[in-house]
Amino acid sequence: MSYPRARYLGERGESSGVFRPASAEPDLMMGEGGTRVHYLGTGASTDGQFGLYRWDMSGKPTGPAPHFHRTISESFFVLSGTVRLSNGERTADATAGDFLYVPQGGVHSFCNTSGEPASMLILFTPGAPREAYFEELAEIATGGRTLTDAEWTELYLRHDQYMV
């Protein structure tokens, strides 16, 4: 394995880093008193290299059913609390410091069933516009909108989400 092709060809470097303090307000609330999502690095802000999100879950049970992605890998790093992580074959109650990498096509799911708050980082590579997916899910949850099976399928297809 070697380094990828150079993306920066300047001679002296530049001041282009973006800082986000830990005290920044969440970018999205998933349901009333539910998950707070922080957009740390979006596909747009990282020039498509990755998407990184902090997922702060309340004690309410939350998380997607088993699914896979065709175009993106997904990684999970638990910061605090307990998050049930599954790689499609094995499920573990992951705690601070535990990590799960799922390549394209890998079945996976996550859920906070502990009844206590939990926090984790979610990394998508390459950077896809996942914010639109998260925001639509939040709108459905808070607006009380009910989707048909066909509407759910269409939503998932638009966002590279294939339910198992």
Tens digit of pLDDT at every position of the chain (164 positions): 999 999 999 999 999 999 999 999 999 998 878 899 999 999 999 999 999 999 999 988 888 999 999 999 999 999 999 999 999 999 999 999 999 999 999 999 999 999 999 999 999 999 999 999 999 999 998 888 899 999 999 999 999 999 99
| Helix, strand, coil abundance in the chain, percent, nearest 5 | 15, 35, 50
Per-domain boundaries in the chain:
28-163
Residue 58 CA to residue 26 CA, distance in Å, equals 13
What's the predicted TM-score (pTM) here? Answer: 0.94
Architecture of domain 28-163: Sandwich (2.60)
pLDDT reported for residue 143: 85
d(CA 140, CA 13): 44
Measured in Å, how far apart are the chain's first and last C-alpha atoms? Answer: 33
100, 75 contact by CB (below 8 A):
yes
